Homo-oligomer: A and B are copies of this chain.
Amino acid sequence: MNKVLRPSQDAPPNTTGLASRSDLVVAGLQRAIFEHKIAPGTKLSEDEVGEIFGVSRTIVRSALQALAHSQLVTIEKNRGAFIASPSPREAHEVFEARGLIEPRVATMAAKRMTDEALETLRMHTEEEHAAMHVGDKGKALSLSGGFHLKIADIAGHDVFTGFIHSLISRSSLIIALYWHRADTTCESHSHHALMKAFERRDAAAAEEIMRSHIVDLHSGLNLSSPNNAPLSLADALRP
């Protein structure tokens, strides 16, 4: 169950330089979570995940622990790992935290904004538009989170960026559970408005737009009626 797959692509046994094997598993699972391919509560059996990615349980275990630390999976002793399923309260707290941190980061990004960075953001929003147009809701949501992450990267504050990474990951689960609106157009509008502010290097405007954007997201949640849409694991994984 460990020497399956990867027939030839490992000419250099360790790829580029970073990215150990467990990081690849982490990335694969994260991706699936971001795109809502696997639902909260899904069991992640060590053997099963290991077989899918062609690695031993040692690697899988390491990856699951990493994900547990980012609160994306929950590990129950002697019972296994599950995709986390944030409580309504946790959902509320996550967006409260985003409401405090992200506006601050938006101002920092506006102050440090370069033309290149602007161009990157612009391309990102276009991708977002495209995905939404095609109707790929999972990908659109994933990209929407990516927009916030890119802003954090531009701000260049590693500590805040780390927090935002964590918060956005958890937001993905929260949205899977508690988001009912069909349209994500408000999302698109806010992002567009943010772009305008960034183009003008208007830090105050960026901060305010970000704040209200996150309040919007927060109030778009219906914390009393969670969705549920379990899927098969094997189908969900492999990019």
The residues of A with any CB-CB pair to B shorter than 8 Å are 18, 20, 62, 65-66, 69-70, 77, 90, 93-94, 96-97, 100-101, 104, 157-160, 163, 167
Contact = CB atoms under 8 A, between A and B. Distances in A.
Nearest to A62: B65
A213 to B, nearest CB: 18
B66 A97 contact: no
Contacts of A101: 100-101
20 contacts: A20-B77, A62-B62, A62-B65, A65-B65, A66-B69, A69-B69, A69-B70, A90-B158, A93-B157, A93-B158, A93-B159, A93-B160, A94-B159, A97-B159, A97-B160, A100-B101, A100-B104, A101-B101, A159-B167, A163-B163
Nearest to A66: B69
A69 B23 CA distance: 13
A230 B134 CA distance: 59
Contacts of A97: 159-160, 163
Nearest to A14: B77
A127 B55 CA distance: 50
Contact of A96 (B77, B90, B157): B157
Given A20-B77, A96-B159, 14 more contacts: A18-B77, A62-B62, A90-B159, A93-B157, A93-B158, A93-B160, A96-B157, A97-B160, A97-B163, A100-B100, A100-B104, A101-B101, A159-B167, A163-B163
A178 to B, nearest CB: 16
**Minimum-distance CB pairs A-B, first 8:** A93-B159, A69-B69, A97-B159, A93-B157, A94-B159, A163-B163, A100-B104, A93-B158
A69 B64 CA distance: 13
A223 B125 CA distance: 39
Nearest to A98: B159
A15 to B, nearest CB: 12
Contacts of A18: 77
Contacts of A167: 159
A90 B159 CA distance: 8
Contacts of A163: 97, 163
